[in-house]
């Protein structure tokens, strides 16, 4: 499959997964505009969308990250303390290294 | 920031600008660091139930290398991109080693000790996924990157969006398409 066809198929897939049944079929039909190869590519993605996949759990059986990693390096000053980074978080809130 | 982190930041930035020697060097350093943490006693912090948690491992490497230094957003993004690729390599090393062990071939102590298999890391699945991911990268490099970040580094949708510079919504949709494509490619039901 060409890169262009795959990217188009993925776009159509993204556009139609919100709708079901006849509405979805009509949307796919419209988007593919008679391009059978594109249509097959979209149908294959849609057919494989349901059910379990081992990708549903990250490698090693871990959980998805939910740490605010992307934010915590910004040093924030509170009074005389510079908040350097998050140490851990739990039920009562988050603990930061100051 | 420790000197090691400072050098790495430069390598990551040069690599992202297209310097392939710098990119390779950055990859090797991150890969070695991840292996070291996984194998060492500190690796215990990354494991629960005897299973390696890539998220914890990657974040631990990040914290140690850069030690709370303020880093440019782009450099952090480069680090996570490289770390996800390094985790993919570690997963493959581990899968190959455990298959060799199962076959009863000459058993070698491999540098992936400490990377225990867990759910979602069946060696056959991992090797098949590696091939499939290379095929996907030909069709959509971005989707392949998203799978690396999500599956091998355990990043959330939001974190992945930050690394690739796209919206959460885009990552959700691309991830779902990639998941479907990989499932189809790997043989429906078995994937």
Domain membership of residue A15 (yes or no) is yes
Contact B191 A54 (CB under 8 A): yes
Bridge partners (DSSP) listed for residue A94: A89
Residue of B121, B143, B174 with shortest CB distance to A59: B121
Contact B51 A61 (CB under 8 A): yes
Query: B94 with B112: CB under 8 angstroms?
Result: yes
Q: Which of B170, B188, B8, B6 is nearest to B83 (CA)?
A: B8
Banded pLDDT at A83 (limits 50, 70, 90): very low
Mark residue B69 as left, alpha or beta (left: phi above 0; alpha: psi -120 to 50; beta: remaining).
beta
Instruction: Find the helix or strand (DSSP H, E) in which A83 lies.
Output: strand A81-83
Letter string b/e over residues A51-86, b meaning 16 or more CB atoms within 10 A of that residue's CB: eebbbebbbbbbebbebebbebbeeeeeeeeeebbb
Indicate the pTM of the whole model: 0.79
Q: Is A98 helix (H, G, I), strand (E, B) or coil?
A: coil
Q: Is B18 on the interface with A (CB under 8 A)?
A: no
Domain count, chain A: 2
Query: Cβ contacts (< 8 Å) between B70 and chain A: which residues?
Result: 73-75
Domain membership of residue A56 (yes or no) is no
Banded pLDDT at B36 (limits 50, 70, 90): confident
Average the pLDDT over B89-116 and give the result: 68
Domain membership of residue A27 (yes or no) is yes
**pLDDT for the residue numbered B100:** 84
Domain membership of residue A81 (yes or no) is yes
Domain that holds residue A83: 64-97
Condensed to tens digits (0 to 9), the pLDDT of residues B120-175 reads: 568 888 999 999 999 999 999 999 999 999 999 989 999 899 999 999 999 999 99
Condensed to tens digits (0 to 9), the pLDDT of residues B42-72 reads: 555 545 555 567 778 888 888 888 876 667 7
């Amino acid at each position: 499959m060409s890169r262009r066809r795959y990217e188009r198929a993925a776009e159509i897939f993204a556009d139609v997964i919100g709708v079901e049944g006849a509405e979805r079929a009509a949307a796919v039909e419209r988007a593919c505009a008679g391009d059978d190869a594109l249509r097959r590519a979209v149908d294959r993605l849609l057919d494989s969308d349901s059910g379990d996949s081992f990708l549903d759990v990250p490698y090693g059986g871990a959980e998805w990250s939910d740490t605010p990693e992307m934010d915590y390096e910004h040093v924030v000053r509170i009074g005389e303390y510079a908040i350097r980074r998050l140490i851990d978080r739990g039920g009562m809130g988050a603990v930061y290294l100051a | 920031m420790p000197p090691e982190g400072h050098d790495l930041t430069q390598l990551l930035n040069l690599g992202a600008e297209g310097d392939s020697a710098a990119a390779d060097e950055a990859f090797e350093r991150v890969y070695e660091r991840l292996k070291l943490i996984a194998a060492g006693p500190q690796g215990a912090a990354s494991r629960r139930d005897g299973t390696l948690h890539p998220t914890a491992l990657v974040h631990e490497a990040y914290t140690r290398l850069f030690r709370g230094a303020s880093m440019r957003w782009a450099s952090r993004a480069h680090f996570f991109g490289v770390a996800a690729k390094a985790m993919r390599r570690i997963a493959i090393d581990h899968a190959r080693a455990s298959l060799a062990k199962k076959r009863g071939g000459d058993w070698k102590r491999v540098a992936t000790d400490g990377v225990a298999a867990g759910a979602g890391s069946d060696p056959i699945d991992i090797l098949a996924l590696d091939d499939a991911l290379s095929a996907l990268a030909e069709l959509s490099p971005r989707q392949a990157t998203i799978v690396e970040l999500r599956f091998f580094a355990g990043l959330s949708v939001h974190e992945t969006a930050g690394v690739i510079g796209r919206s959460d919504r885009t990552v959700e949709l691309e991830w779902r398409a990639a998941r479907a494509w990989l499932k189809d490619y790997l043989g429906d039901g078995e994937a």
